[in-house]
Amino acid sequence: MSSAEFYGTRLDEHWRGQCSVTSLLVKGKAQSDVTVARLIGGPGFGMVAPVPPEEGYALTIELIDYQKGELWLGGRTTPQTDLLRNHSVFFDLRNGVEAKLEDPFDFLHFHIPRQYFSDLAAASGVRAIDELRAQSGQGFFDPTMLHLGMAMLPALERPTEANRLFLDHTMLALCAHIAGTYGVAIEPRVLAKGLSGWRLRRAKDLIASRLDGDVSIAEIAAECGLTPSYFARQFAEATGTTPHRWLLKMRVETAKRLIVEGRLSLAEIAAACGFADQSHFTRVFARETGATPRAWRDHLR
């Protein structure tokens, strides 16, 4: 197993046992899966297992201030500055990374293979990024990156409820922002203006047919003959919501129909509509309708 496969797809094993790790895998094409995790540790953690050189980047978003520690890139001591709450930090993993953590820490950690950026660029008809204009280990404040990162926290708190559409859409937005701000912009190659009627119907039908959320933005965009980032923006303009929110809406509408038919229990409806469990079903249904499934059913009766 290569170092990229070990660190990228088994991030929890790299850190687990010494600190609290919650991680999610965002599926990409071959060799381009992205991992997002939250890592929490107390003081005196010590040396982190070395990350051998690989073709990828690590991005952290600090959730608390961090001050005391050491960093080595390619075996050379590298200063760290401004590792403050809400700040972001890049690490170019081609150098190999070693670190010693002394202060308590709590941060979001993204492992992004360079191939993920290359796939985004190829889908958008632009040149892939060669470098990121950011110095490894130096903290900086980026409000967009912070907002997108914080959007991942609920998914990490309830990983069984995080569906692929949400993770894929958020990661696409994050990496497009990174490439556009710190590298070569990933701007869509415009193949069509807006979402025509058939494209919008096809996108909605595909989402409705996969209520478990096991469909990616790239897959839907390909069905519509559009690039992923262009499709995501145009879908939001056409519907007023994201593909992920549309999926939740379709789940609730399907649940309403099944409740009216009266043949299934609420637990069976939750499973049929792609919810992680009945608790997840109740929270989403109540948020969308203002009433729990049980209260909505009782009102009908």
pLDDT above 70: residue 273: yes
**Is pLDDT at 188 greater than 60 in this prediction?**
no
Q: Is the pLDDT of residue 137 over 80?
A: yes
On the question of pLDDT at 9 being above 80, the answer is no
Q: Where does the pLDDT of residue 140 fall: very low under 50, low under 70, confident under 90, or very high at 90 and above? A: very high
Burial (0-12, 13-18, 19+ Cβ within 10 Å), 108: buried
Q: State the pLDDT at residue 19.
A: 82
164 pLDDT above the threshold of 80:
yes
**Which of 239, 228, 148 is CA-nearest to residue 187?**
228
pLDDT band for 46, please (50, 70, 90 cuts): confident
User: Where is mean pLDDT largest: 10-19, 68-77, 141-150, 204-213?
Assistant: 141-150
- pLDDT at 192 (0 to 100): 46
From 1.10.10.60, 3.40.462.10, 1.10.1060.10, 3.30.70.20, which CATH number describes the 251-300 domain?
A: 1.10.10.60
Domain formed by 3-182, architecture: Sandwich (2.60)
pLDDT tens per residue across span 87-113: 999 998 888 888 888 899 999 999 999
More confident residue, 153 or 225: 153
Q: What is the DSSP string of the chain?
A: --HHHHHHH-HHHHHBTTBEEEEEEE--STT--EEEEEEEE-TT-EEPPPB---SEEEEEEESS----EEEEETTEE---B---TT-EEEEEGGG-EEEEE-S-EEEEEEEEEHHHHHHHHHHHTSPPPS--SS-TTB-B--HHHHHHHHHTHHHHHSGGG--HHHHHHHHHHHHHHHHHHHSS------SSSS--HHHHHHHHHHHHH-TT----HHHHHHHTTS-HHHHHHHHHHHHSS-HHHHHHHHHHHHHHHHHHHT-S-HHHHHHHTT-SSHHHHHHHHHHHHSS-HHHHHHHH-
224 has a pLDDT exceeding 90? no
38 vs 189, more confident:
38
Cα–Cα dist 116/34, whole Å: 8
Give 191's pLDDT tier (boundaries 50, 70, 90).
very low
Q: How confident is the model at residue 3 (pLDDT cuts 50, 70, 90)?
A: very low
Give the confidence band of 180 by pLDDT, cuts at 50, 70, 90. Answer: confident
Domain with CATH 1.10.10.60 in the chain: 251-300
Express each pLDDT in 142-156 by its tens digit: 999 999 999 999 989
pLDDT band at 187 (very low <50, low <70, confident <90, very high): low
According to CATH, the topology of domain 197-240 is Arc Repressor Mutant, subunit A (1.10.10)
Higher pLDDT, 249 or 10: 249
Specify burial of residue 133 (Cβ count, 10 A radius: 0-12, 13-18, 19+). exposed
For the chain, how long is the longest CA-to-CA vector? Answer: 71
